[in-house]
Amino acid sequence: MKYIKLYEDFSDKVLDNIEDIKWIIVSFCDDVISYKLLTNYEDKIVVYTLSEKQTNQEEFESLQGRIKDLNPKYEYKIINDKIAIGLPEYLKVFESIEEFNIKNYTFNDDLTIDVNGDIDLSYSCLTKLPFKFRNVTGDFDCSSNKLTSLEGCPETIGGDFDCSYNNLTSLVGGPETVGGDFNCRNNNLTSLVGGPETVGGDFNCSYNNLISLEGGPETVGGGFYCSYNKLTSLEGCTKTIGGDFSCYYNKLTSLDGSPKKVSGDFNCYDNKLTSLEGIGDVKGNINSDL
């Protein structure tokens, strides 16, 4: 057994926040275990990955004293092939991140994380998101859970966002900008307030309890689907739709408030319409019962 230390030639990748500390003891281990710095967030948390997938907790017990020398508030956690040293609140988030096997993430000062890639939390029996995201470059899928709130969702999502098949009654806390599709179908939504301002792809809020489209996105690059709700009016609807617009199976008596421009088809059958007045510029077909 021996100390493995971070020497001067490794210090270009480590931000030493205590001037007296020239190295951080990573582990008590034998010669066959190597290490590398996985991520470092100044004085908040430092994460190392070891060459073995399983580590012996007892081998690290003697680390506790040295860790307290670095900072009395510091603790550590060992999960699989990683050891994290830092403040307890960051270690708690780190533990949740490892539980969901999230890769390519970075911490922000407010304990949110940015992720370069996709996040899949679907079918995880979640009643709330396990930690807070800020930006995700890929898709974010939290569908088929038991979520009642979107608190903790990323502010921006580069790909698709899917929160369908949950118990949501509000979109508050959800992303502000989605580069791909936004899918919130099959929930208990009564309003779109709190939803994204911009959706690059399709926006699907079908199979909810919506009585209004107020608060919906300002721009939708793809189709807009609000079928199977309780809408009596289209007031507040997005004005420019890049694909199809579907509002069938509602309680509409008028098409006032319809999008001004629809690049695809306009589907409004199975309502209580007596006229198609109010429809804007539709490039595709108009499908109705009239």
Q: How many CA atoms lie within 13 A of 188 on its CB side?
A: 8
CA atoms within a 13 Å half-sphere pointing along the CA-CB vector of 66: 14
As given in the structure block, the two tokens for residue 187 are 């929930």
Domain segments of the chain as ranges: 2-99
Strands 82-86 and 75-79 turn out to be antiparallel
User: C-alpha 210: how far from its chain's center?
Assistant: 24
How confident is the model over 33-87, as pLDDT tens digits? 344 444 555 667 777 666 554 555 555 565 676 677 667 888 888 787 777 778 8
Q: Which of 148, 213, 157, 164 is nearest to 180 (CA)?
A: 157
Q: In what order do the strands lie in the sheet with 133-136?
A: 105-107, 113-115, 133-136, 156-157, 177-178, 198-199, 219-220, 240-241, 261-262, 281-282
**Alpha carbons 228 and 248: distance in angstroms, whole number:** 7
Per-residue pLDDT, 212: 95
For all residues of the chain together, what is the average pLDDT?
A: 83
Q: What is the pLDDT of residue 141?
A: 98
pLDDT digits (tens, 9 = 90+) for 182-234: 999 999 999 999 999 999 999 999 999 999 999 999 999 999 999 999 999 99
